[in-house]
Amino acid sequence: MSFQAPKGTFDWMPPRSEWALIVRDALSAPARRAGYGYIETPAFEDTGLFARGVGESTDIVTKEMYTFQSKGGQSLTLRPEGTASVVRAVLEHGLYGGALPIKLWYSGSYFRYEKAQAGRYRHFSQVGAEALGAEDPALDAELIVLASDGYASLGLKNVRLLINSLGCKECRPAYRAALQDFLRGLDLDEATRQRIEINPLRILDDKRPEVQAQLVDAPLVTDHLCGACKAYHEEVRSLLTGAGLTYSDDPRLVRGLDYYTRTTFEFIHDGLGAQSAVGGGGRYDGLSEMIGGPALPSVGWALGVDRTVLAMEAEGLLTERPGQVEVFAVPLGEEARRRIFSLVAELRRDGIAVDMAFGGRGVKGAMKAADRSGARFALILGERDIEAGAVQVKDLTTGEQTAVPLAGVVDVLKGKLS
């Protein structure tokens, strides 16, 4: 019997896995520069956290969570998203009693039992950022700009930004009522009709063509915003424009989670087919209260590592091999192996990426390994080199080879690589 990765999951393998690391670093770098501190939460939480925070009517809670019972009888769930866990941690550790806003970023694995397809996996990776404890359009705009900067730093050209406002507790009820009246007149299946009474906005997020076709004339939330929400949204839009971002208004953008209020946004890449969203987020001013905490207006986003790699592939940005070694060491004989091992360790400590030939390979096999590694230079050490106190440095691009004193090889390689 041979084991395989579970359906809906996959293994990150080199060199593609190196791109995943690059994407994580690039997407989180703007947030780190903006004062966001790193937070890491458990991969599983009390099931009630997600049921109350994400929303009992959402597909995530009703269909997609990996839930199990611990040996102590507690219902636990593998985290399907990151925001609820971050808010729980902030409340548990009392961070809201200090300086506000609390700015945090995170990166990790998330789990949803979804229909497996390209770009939609049951185990996926995200980078997230949250700003908690302040109701300020500048925070919404800041996070959107940080995400946009992350995508741009990877060289992506075809990422589009969609934004919307979902209103607040003052104006949402009137829109909810208008939407419910409209939806009750449509030809919908029973499960969808039940959502009309629980959370009608979720129906706008239904991706089925037969449902979308009936929503063409649905009332728009932007037509029901109160004065405060209109002013807030206009300020977010103005700040984005001032920061040089191009965006499109999408009055039907509601996202898939119950906790969103006011600003919602999504980053789209048209080269990914049906699963075109590479990231998104919004404001969630009531989430803290939903899970038993004080009022803590907040905003955040989650950006998909997997889909961002796919977007880079769609734009032809994965042509180079990342993370490759710069120098490959080739020892000829046992004494050379011992000597070059120490030299390799020294080079690595000086910040040079070095690999070496293992397993007693001959010159031909070792040099083939050097070529496959993608290294720029090979270090070749034989008995005559040891006697001369030197090592051969071979440029694997030009084939030029020179003898360099062992005592000076680190400085020579640093100079060549710079």
Q: Which residues are annotated as a binding site?
A: 81-83, 112, 126, 130, 255, 259-260
Q: Is the dihedral of CA 261, 303, 7, 73 positive or negative?
A: negative
Task: Report the helix count and the strand count for the chain, using DSSP H and E.
Answer: 16, 16
Q: Which two tokens stand for residue 35?
A: 């004062």
Q: Which two tokens stand for residue 265?
A: 């946004």
Q: Which of 300, 285, 289 is nearest to 88 (CA)?
A: 289
Q: Which of 183, 168, 157 is nearest to 282 (CA)?
A: 168
- CA–CA gap between residue 100 and residue 254 (Å, rounded): 27
- CA–CA gap between residue 262 and residue 381 (Å, rounded): 66
Helix-strand-coil split of the chain, %, nearest 5: 40, 20, 35
Q: Is 185 helix (H, G, I), strand (E, B) or coil?
A: coil
Q: Which of 27, 339, 317, 361 is nearest to 156 (CA)?
A: 317
Tokens 């004062």, residue? Answer: 35
Binding site for L-histidine: residue ranges? Answer: 81-83, 112, 126, 130, 255, 259-260
First to last CA, the chain: 50
* Rg (the chain; Cα; Å): 27
Query: Could you please report the per-residue DSSP string of 200-261?
Result: THHHHT---HHHHGGGTTPPPGGGS--HHHHHHHHHHHHHHHHTT---EE-TT---S-TT-E
Instruction: Provide the 10 A C-beta neighbour count for residue 297.
Output: 21
Burial of 97 from C-beta contacts in 10 A (0-12 / 13-18 / 19+): exposed
Q: Which of 20, 37, 27 is nearest to 105 (CA)?
A: 37
